[in-house]
Structure 1
């Protein structure tokens, strides 16, 4: 038995748990339905027995009333059954009454001669102090219930036992049976409905602390890892809440470790790279001063280029890690046009060196609620990418719009653009479009990945389109209207 229980429990655990409220209702209501069904059947049978006993008692009373009219006259059995007596018998029932009086020698004295005889295996009823037998039979195509009473008759000349049979159709019994069944089903159904409502209310009331705990967890910000109060739930659920608190503490510790790692890595990577860059520049100046061989100049130039690419890659990787840990950070109103203008001024020297026309279209100021540092990094990546992949003599246009109350930012360049088949893939880290590889072979493939993550953090939709006249690339960022504080 124990092995069977463990096997069933294992199968139950392997199944999808589903709703706790639903399982409690099912496990409480299913036994209740079974018990109510059994109770309905039992009540119905008891009511039928009581009804049969009542009708049998009435049938016996009719049989006794008829037996009182059986006497012996002139040496033979006679039965004086006036029509008034028969009318009174039939008035008491909804069906028909049949009777038969049999004499001492088996002769029919009165009544219906073809009324079915008493079967030989019918026992005498022990419920009444009389020699009576009850049995079912068919008569004239209808089922009937018959009471057969043995009645002693005698006078001075003879004595013996007469048989009085009175039968009635089952119409009245069936009517009462249907009424009993209907009343029983109605009563049990009413009880079941009332019990279902009470159980549903009780389960809902008992699970209310769990629902409150769920709402409390859902209302928390992503960065809120404070402990939950175990006293809010039942004693049986408190170990689960305590385990959740322990898990959130470990997550908090892990996040703190990761933040320290980012800070340490940023310092450890940038410092030696900066030193290497400085040493390379000093070596290049010394080579220029003393007129070293062209091969040495080329090696130093390659070292400088590799160092710059490594610094750029390290900064992008650290920014990507910082974005991943910035969810739930503090937000503030940010002037989008002013921020974009600041980024354009910072990257203006790069645009001049690359001979690219960098312009900011005139537009009204639009504010949104966000993290200024991350938005600055996102805009810097967009403009930097546009400058890197726009050939000399090209242009990069920056726009800030407001459409239906939603802030919209656009960065459009006249570079090679991105084929439609690759526009979704370029947001993956380290993926680079084929058109970009030709203009900037040393790129890291992280710029648009950072832009996408920061945009997702601010619930902004990012999309790539063709530029003006089908040339270049247009990057459009549409922020939710709810973030607009203008």
Structure 2
């Protein structure tokens, strides 16, 4: 089994950034080095060309330096020179040889290539014309640039040669090595050490952040400290804090949902159990006639308790779904509010008719983007509240349409009734879960407007509670961003 350590990921992260920084640093340095080598070589070629031109200027002067001597004794002892031949160097040639002592030479040969005067290591060169010829000669590890020219002198036609061993092109590599390559290599080594140290030091806050996250308990969703992290990591920390907040909200919503569900289901279930037990005890004690009357009454109560329990379960499920949508990003769709209001109207015609209510619809074309099933749940809860709390013979109106606001076109829908209404000081509290107005005798769970409020929040809007148009009752309105209706397909 492999053991996983905390240091391994951090070390890999450091080396990964170090390699990237070193590559990004060495590539420009290498390119600069290549450019420097190229220009150094070009400069060496230019110097060598100038030296060739200097040799060409000095060769005629070397030929003019050959004169005829007057006596045989003046001939050099190491050369088999013809009688009467002597070399009187011109000052420019003499200065050239003195400046390059040990790296220059000269030679005088007859027409057949026999050396008469000068360095013995010079090879015999026999130019076929009077034009100068250049050759390279290696002597004692030094490369000489040699020019040979057939010239007419006072001693006749001779071949004069002048050699220069200071050719810049043969020393350019040493120059480049000392002036370009070695300094760049040293710079690269220092840069690698500096990058390694700087990356390790710069990533210390990031590694501390990683360790702080790893040491956290799964239940600890508190935000990370954004003040102690570098500016480059601040967007990451902000994103993590937003994620922690969303997860915390969702967890809190689920925890609250479970607690509320357990608390609210306990009451109707206890009532249902009490009704069943009372029915069983009365059935054993009463006669057949009284038992029939008891059965009708108990069945009615059981039905009401069952309906209330079923409605509570449905409302809790809708509330949980609204919380889930609020905490996460789910895809939306285009919703036709006019069609939605028409469907809900048809759904509550029977309930309104049983209380002799006037349930009407005033709808105009209006569309928005959202979750169709949640908007349907919102409207159902608002209409259900209106039907439940409006007295017999009351009036309820569903409306939808569009309007122009400062932020652009808005699509809206509302439900207005002429019931008892909600006092202004209670309008905020009725949006809380399981809150019921004091003195309310109608059965309910206190979830209708709370569910509608959560669904409105999930669509980035809110419920607007106001007094009805006639000065009493309640008007519940919600507005959304309006969208352009989809084009209808043409049919033949």
TM-score between the two structures when normalised by the length of structure 2: 0.41
Structure with higher Rg: it is: 2
TM-score between the two structures when normalised by the length of structure 1: 0.41
